[in-house]
Amino acid sequence: MDVTVELDADSIIKTADRLAERTRTRFPDANLTVQADRLVVLAKRSKVRADEISRPIWWIRGLFAVLAFAVILGLAAAPLNIEANTQQRDLLDWIQIAEAAINDVVLLGAGVVFLITLEGRIKRRRTLRELHQLRSFAHVIDMHQLTKDPHRVIGAPEEAEAPIIEAELTPFELSRYLDYCSELLAIAGKVAALYVQRFDDQVVLESVTEIETLTTGLSRKIWQKMMVLFEAYPDSIVP
């Protein structure tokens, strides 16, 4: 029995909204809260955009139908036109008529091919524009976690690399901050995947795969920091 498995856009939006609320409660003044709210907006927009992209572009399909009909009509009318003029024309005229008919059909066929690919190209451009926003979002989250150095919290300033540019966090607060960054990246990857559920395009699929690879790699860096914290404070970072 075939079972279709799809990501549910509403569930992703709810998850992003809950994470934004948790981030707002824990870090009300942090810019990370702004980014969490931004992810909610991106998730909601992805539901609308993915639905729009999955729908046919009817004006293109209408033009395609008109051109296809013109090609069929041209193919059907060409032999009739040639046959009707056979008795009045010599062989050279007959060849010229056939060549002109073939050229017309070829030009109309090229227009049909153009329209066939036009819909996919328009949808691809729209999708890649949305995916670029998610890719930028992932890099912004990475910038937020870069300044969160666990070595400063565990009392090893000689190993700390990031400068002190904001108020220090407790081990538990730092673990929550890094965990929220990791969750934001995970949700961003799922939001990107929404765009390829009902739009089969190789270029878009490669872009989504790139974003998922990016978010997974950044999350791995974050969890390395969290392991450093857990080894130093196995109890204090647990709520």
pTM of the model: 0.75
Going from the C-alpha of 233 to that of each of 149, 160, 164, 183, 225, the distances in angstroms are 15, 17, 21, 21, 12
Which 3-state string (H, E, C) describes the chain? Answer: CCCCCCCCHHHHHHHHHHHHHHHHHHCCCCHHHHHHHHHHHHHHHHHHHHHHHHCCCHHHHHHHHHHHHHHHHHHHHHHHHHHHCCCCCCHHHHHHHHHHHHHHHHHHHHHHHHHHHHHHHHHHHHHHHHHHHHHHHHHHHHHHHHCCCHHHHCCCHHHCCCCCCCCCCCHHHHHHHHHHHHHHHHHHHHHHHHHHCCCCCHHHHHHHHHHHHHHHHHHHHHHHHHHHHHHHCCCCCCC
Q: What is the pLDDT of residue 100?
A: 61
Q: What is the pLDDT of residue 75?
A: 59
Q: What angle (nearest 5°) sits at the alpha carbon of residue 89, between those of residues 86 and 93?
A: 100
Q: What is the pLDDT of residue 212?
A: 95
Q: What is the pLDDT of residue 71?
A: 62
Q: What is the pLDDT of residue 164?
A: 47
Q: Which domains are seen in the chain, by residue range?
A: 9-56+117-232 (1.20.1050)
Question: How confident is the prediction along the chain (239 residues), in pLDDT tens digits per residue?
Answer: 555 667 899 999 999 999 999 999 999 989 999 999 999 999 999 999 988 887 876 777 777 677 667 666 665 655 555 555 545 555 565 566 566 666 666 666 666 677 677 888 888 999 999 999 999 999 999 999 988 877 776 665 554 454 544 457 788 888 899 999 999 999 999 999 999 988 888 999 999 999 999 999 999 999 898 888 888 777 655 55
